[in-house]
Amino acid sequence: MTDQGMSGMGPTALVGDSLTQGGDWQAWMPGETIYNFGVGGDTTDDVVARLWDVINAQPTVVVLLIGTNDLAWRRSVEHIVRNVETILVTLRRELQETRILVQSVLPRGHEFADQIRDINRHLWQFAPTVHAQWLDLWPALALEDGELNPAYSEDRLHLNDEGYRVWLNELVPALERLRQQPPTSRAITLPDLGGAA
């Protein structure tokens, strides 16, 4: 096995907060070379500040999930979206041959549902402009009212083992689809935006 992984691709960088940090991605995706750039407590501002760590690693795939900690800091939807757009524009400019997968902000307590849906709607619309693919994790993890399914979390925020299993079941096929597309292809599927609010 080479460091190119089973897919023949180079390393995959997973970028985000404690949700990403907490995953045992290398064990779960044994054919891949995984760089875990998840940092507990990180906001979108933090990812903007450390983005060159990711760029300097020269990954062939970047998987991004960030934004939920901003909500705890009472950051506005506009602030979060603008920062994620900055992250994506910078990644695309500096890593032109890298495939980018943007994941929807995960559900948490239902009191955040409207804000998260709004963020995700903006990111879904923006992702194709930087030739990034979109993965909507909301349908797999949210209840009708936008609450993170309690089967997948003990604290309405962090995922338990079952929550990570559900996420992985969505992520692995999305990565396979992503790798079949050229780095600059447009999004190929429309998301389910979690139902009309």
Count: domains in the chain? 1
* 192 found inside a domain: no
The whole-number pLDDT of residue 8 equals 57
* 197 found inside a domain: no
Say what the pTM is.
0.89
pLDDT, tens digit, 9 for 90 and up, residues 144-169: 999 999 999 999 999 999 999 999 99
The whole-number pLDDT of residue 182 equals 81
Q: Is 28 left (phi over 0), alpha (psi -120 to 50) or beta?
A: alpha
* 89 found inside a domain: yes
* 5 found inside a domain: no
* 118 found inside a domain: yes
Pairing of strands 12-16, 61-65: parallel
What's the Rg (C-alpha) of the chain?
Answer: 15
**Rounded CA gap, 25 and 35, in Å?**
9
* 141 found inside a domain: yes
* 195 found inside a domain: no
Helix (H, G, I), strand (E, B) or coil at 116: helix
Domain enclosing residue 72, as ranges: 12-180
Residues of the chain with pLDDT under 70: 1-8, 185-197
* 175 found inside a domain: yes
The CATH number covering residue 34 comes to 3.40.50.1110
Burial class, 185, CB count within 10 angstroms (exposed 0-12 / middle 13-18 / buried 19+)? middle
